[in-house]
Amino acid sequence: MLTLLENLWLIPLGFAAGILGSMIGLGGGFVVVPILTFFGFSPPVAASESLFAAFCNAVASTVSYSRQKRIVYSLGIKLALLSIPGTVLGAYLTDEISPSLFKLLFGIVLIGSSVYIYARRKLESKEYNLSKQMMVLAVGASFFAGIISSLFGIGGGTVFVPLMVIGIGLSMKLAAPTSQFILMFAAASGMIVHSILGHPDYLQAGLLSAGAFAGGLVGSRLSLRVSERKLRIFVTIVLIITAIKLFMDALGAPLKIH
């Protein structure tokens, strides 16, 4: 019972991350993982538990977005399947890097995510394009997104959304929900491999997941009401501050690969 009470703070953390993750199509890992690392969680534990939350968040978001008819299933299934090999590799890589290197790399990912979020309104969809050349690009991009998703416990939305909008020609209104649909499969794959490797604490993962599921339901509804400009600015500032803290922590410890 004491252990349960000590970990109850993970529910509101998952809820807040679930709301933001659902609204911008990135998954909530960019909020969950830095906070877990600040509290001393190892990279494998932080990434694996974040994936449990990301999966539940993606399920809740997908249910809501499906009712709004904003998911392109045919495209989402293709990209999801292409990402799975990358998620397997990413789970194994979490055991191979030190916490300091993990923080440094994650900080770089957050900076990239902040640039994407701030500039996402400038992304313009073109004519729908699923040519052979584009599918070759999609294979590589999906594999890379799978690695990022499983290694850092975040969604691959920073790769999938620009790919779908700029490359394939999907509108932003459809790309973010479809990204959440893809994340549902990518997170599930990563969860399974992380679990086989013995990374997650299931009580902590369950509490995070409960909050993230509720947050996903709320976030998908708020996405139609909240000012996107204000949300983008707020999330961008939070990501940059978090990245700076991660860089400071990483530079205070030796960087190494086991």
Q: Please state the domain extents for the chain.
A: 8-251
Does the structure show a pLDDT above 90 at 81? yes
pTM of the model: 0.84
Task: Show Cβ contacts of residue 67 under 8 Å, excluding neighbours closer than 6 positions.
Answer: none
**Strand spans (E) along 87-205:** none
Helix 99-119 to helix 228-251 angle, to the nearest 10 degrees?
A: 160
Q: How far apart are CA 26 and CA 159, in angstroms?
A: 9
pLDDT > 70? residue 126: no
Q: Which of 91-100, 117-126, 218-227, 239-248 has the lowest mean pLDDT?
A: 117-126
Mean pLDDT of 43-56: 92
b/e for 9-41, b at 16 or more Cβ within 10 A? ebbebbbbbbbbbbbbbbbbbbbbbbbbbeeeb
* pLDDT given at position 14: 93
Residue 249 backbone phi and psi in degrees, to 5? -65, -40
Highest mean pLDDT among 32-36, 121-125, 173-177 belongs to 32-36
